[in-house]
A and B are shown apart, each in its own frame.
Chain A
Amino acid sequence: MSEKNSPILEVKGLKTHFFTKHGVSKAVDGIDFTLRKGETLGIVGESGCGKSMTSLSILRLIPSPPGKIAGGQVLYKGKDLVTLSEDEMRKIRGNEISMIFQEPMTSLNPVIPVGEQIAEALRLHQGMRKKEAWIKAVEMLRLVGIPSPEKRAKQEPFQLSGGMRQRVMIAMALACTPEVLIADEPTTALDVTIQAQILELIKDLQKKIGMGVIMITHDLGVVSETCDKVAVMYAGNIIEHAPTEKIFTNPKHPYTQGLLNSLPKIHEDQEELQTIEGSVPSPYNLPAGCRFASRCPHQKPLCHLQKPDLIEQNDGVKVRCWMYTDEWTKHTEKEGAVK
């Protein structure tokens, strides 16, 4: 296996549950994926499907209590992050695995100059002296395209626009040249023009540093532009996992198909956008069968009885749906016979 293709982060059967007085919420319920060096993995899904909790679980930043990693492994270069001590975990956070958050407006400390917010990570992880770290922080701000970075570094977040703050977040995340960058909806809160710039910037820097990127988003446009492969999440599970072009040209899972159908199309005359009927099941009370079954246009009794597994198809696409199993054909034949 070449250097480029070696897996850097492997998530195996990860479960993150929240133990509240209303019951157990299975926000992330057994997910698997692999991220290789230099690769971009997209995790998509609607709000509440568990994509953000997945990313927070990797860095063990789940608010605890009530949250807890209830099972599975997060292997970073072969080390299981779930079992690391808090001290060892701290050395990985912001140093080897970094994160960019959704809300640039609230994710920076309002009373600390942005330069210092970058520099403190450098002093901590790279053992830099105060002056050296400051110079590097200014350099990082220049790298992410902030004009007159010497001046900006001394300013506090309220003096910067949303786009600039997100650039600062990126500069902060990349300051220690991490091996893995987790970008949790990095462009959601930004204007469309700024969105494109920020995505370009992440792609550029990824090429320079050669890091693996996990792009968490609900925006399929972002996925098509940036990702090599995509994991589609629904109610705490991955329901389809495929190379990006396959997701767009030949979506297999009815939910993925529904997501793509709900996008507006340029070449067709559409009166209304298509939607997926129904809503996501509550994470406190998940159905026994397929979690999408009640909204699925192809549903059969089988779907409600038993949960399908994530099974790899001939073309390398993994999908969690009965339609792509032998049971489905048997079931359909039986139905035909009854009729």
Chain B
Amino acid sequence: MLMFILRRLIQTIPVVIGVTFVVFFIMQLVPGDPAVLLAGEGASKETVNAIREQLGLNRPLMVQYFDYLLNVFQGDFGSSLKNSQPVLDEIMVRLPITMELAFFSILITIVLGMAAGIISAIKPYSLTDTSVMLVALLGISLPSFWFGLMMMYFFSVKLQILPVAGWDSILHVILPALTLGAGGAAIVARMTRSSMLEVIRQDYIRTARAKGLREHVIIYKHALRNALIPVITVVGLQFGALLGGTVLVESIFAINGLGRMIVDAIRMRDLPVVQGGVLAASLIFVIVNLFVDVFYRFFNKRIELN
């Protein structure tokens, strides 16, 4: 198991380098020149050129990239073009907020999704099943910005039981986390259901019945562990989607997290901040995938890493 984790860790290195490459060059493709933007409207060509020179933006792209890569590995994500603050400092402030939001969202995704999926699968095609799956379908279909606003309207404005926006107490977490986690929960619910129904038909479930085991032992011990294998993959993928979702949700609920930082930086063409933010988010995704693989292996020892 330890060897597995170690080997899997080594495999992430090329992925991380690939991520830096993509992050760097995609930003080059974005229209708009940061030098022009920084110089302000009506600035002379000389001023713009001077800024370009100063920031090293006039060097060949590959040189800029390797320079960037070297700095990143030394923990230097560059400085904001806007306020010259180190990007890493900004990330360290924003990241914990986003991680907290992501943690509670994925918790909702997993707990709510799996519970709903199991309830549905135990009595397939029953009224409970149909209702749960209908709600799940809604959960997948509703766009999170609309769902977030509706929840805000209902719980914060009408009922006034939860805060509208901000990030001060655990109460502030509920609505954003629900908004962010709902779509994933719906997908996980449908996945858990179909996976459970698939597993319940297997020969080894019949064997378990022939042994005289109780129904709940059959469901939770014999079926669920097998059914969860594909669900874990979906949860891992959902985490990626969820990180993307933080951009929207943080904007709706005025949370100063990583997502909002990236959006603001994009607006400002603040390249180093965007790069740093996207890189941080990508790294988290890579780490989560690592965890998913380890879990996967734990649940299913047949998986060997070649």
Q: B-contacting residues of A (Cβ < 8 Å)?
A: 59, 61, 90-95, 98-99, 101, 103, 106-112, 120-121, 124-125, 156, 158, 169, 172
Could you count the A-B residue pairs with CB atoms below 8 Å apart for me: how many are there? 70
Bound-state Cα–Cα, A93 to B206, Å: 11
A101 vs B208: C-alpha distance when bound (angstroms): 11
A125 is contacted by which of B204, B208, B210, B212 (Cβ under 8 Å)? B212
Interface assignment of B222: CB less than 8 Å from any CB of chain A: yes
Q: Which residue of B lies closest to A155 (CB)?
A: B301
Which residues of B are at the interface with A, using a C-beta cutoff of 8 A?
202-204, 206-214, 217, 221-222, 225-226, 299-302
Cα distance A99–B203 in the bound complex, in angstroms:
12
Contact B222 A93 (CB under 8 A): no
* 24 sample A-B contacts, Cβ–Cβ < 8 Å, listed by A number: A61-B209, A61-B210, A90-B212, A93-B210, A93-B212, A94-B210, A94-B211, A94-B212, A99-B210, A103-B203, A106-B202, A106-B204, A109-B207, A109-B222, A110-B204, A111-B300, A112-B225, A121-B213, A124-B211, A124-B214, A156-B301, A156-B302, A158-B301, A172-B207
Name the A residues within 8 Å of B203 (CB-CB).
Answer: 101, 103, 106-107
| Further 14 A-B residue pairs, CB within 8 A, beyond A112-B225, A156-B302 | A59-B210, A90-B212, A90-B213, A90-B214, A93-B209, A93-B211, A94-B211, A109-B222, A111-B225, A111-B301, A120-B221, A124-B214, A125-B212, A158-B302
A124 with B222, Cβ < 8 A, contacts A108-B207, A110-B204, A156-B302 known: no
Q: B206 near A107 (CB under 8 angstroms)? A: yes
Q: Give bound CA distance, A98 to B212, whole Å.
A: 9
CB contact under 8 A between A120 and B213, given known A61-B206, A109-B207, A111-B226: yes
Which of B204, B214, B301 touches A109 (beta carbons < 8 Å)?
B204
| Residue contact A110 to B209, C-beta cutoff 8 Å | no
Q: How far is the CA of A169 from the CA of B203 in the complex (A)?
A: 12
> Could you say which residues of chain A place their CB within 8 Å of the CB of B302?
110, 156, 158
Contacts of A111 in B (CB 8 A): 225-226, 299-301
Complex alpha-carbon distance, A120 and B221, angstroms: 11
Q: Is the CB of B212 within 8 A of A121?
A: yes
Residue of B nearest to A173 (CB): B210
Asked if B212 contacts A101 (CB within 8 A), the reply is no
> In the docked arrangement, what's the CA distance between A273 and B78, Å?
83
CB distance from A188 to the nearest CB of B (A): 13
Task: Report Cα–Cα, A312/B102, bound state, in Å.
Answer: 75
A101 with B213, Cβ < 8 A, contacts A110-B226, A111-B226 known: no
- When C-beta atoms are compared, the residue in chain B nearest to A87 turns out to be B214
Task: Given A93-B212, A110-B302, A111-B299, decide whether A101 and B226 contact each other with a Cβ distance below 8 A.
Answer: no
A92 to B213, CA, bound (A): 11
Separation of A125 and B211 alpha carbons in the complex (Å):
9
Smallest CB gap from A90: residue in B: B212
Min CB gap A315→B, angstroms = 37
Interchain CB contact under 8 A, A107 and B211: no
Of A92, A109, A169, the contact of B212 (CB 8 Å cutoff): A92
Does the CB pair B211–A121 fall under 8 Å? Answer: yes
- Please, how many angstroms separate the alpha-carbon atoms of A92 and B204 in the complex? 19
Query: Taking CB as reference atom, which chain A residue is nearest B204?
Result: A109
- Distance (whole angstroms) from the CB of B14 to the closest CB of chain A: 30
Complex Cα–Cα for A107 and B209 (A) = 11
CA gap between A111 and B202 in the complex, in Å: 13
Q: Give chain B residues whose Cβ lies under 8 Å from the Cβ of A169.
A: 207
User: Which of B204, B225, B300 is the most central at the interface, judged by chain A CB atoms within 10 Å of its CB?
Assistant: B204
Which residues of the partner chain B approach A99 to less than 8 Å between Cβ atoms?
Answer: 210
Least CB distance from A103 to B in Å reads 6
CB A235 to nearest CB in B, in angstroms, measures 24
CA distance A31 to B1 in the complex (A): 54
B-side contacts of A91, CB under 8 Å: 212
Report which of A98, A101, A172 forms a contact with B206, defined as CB distance below 8 A.
A101
Residues of B near A109 (CB, < 8 A) are: 204, 207-208, 222, 226
Tell me the complex Cα distance, A124–B209, Å.
Answer: 12
* A121: B residues at CB distance < 8 A: 211-213
A98 to B217, CA, bound (A): 18
Q: Which residue of B lies closest to A104 (CB)?
A: B203
Contact partners of A110 in chain B: CB under 8 A:
204, 226, 300, 302
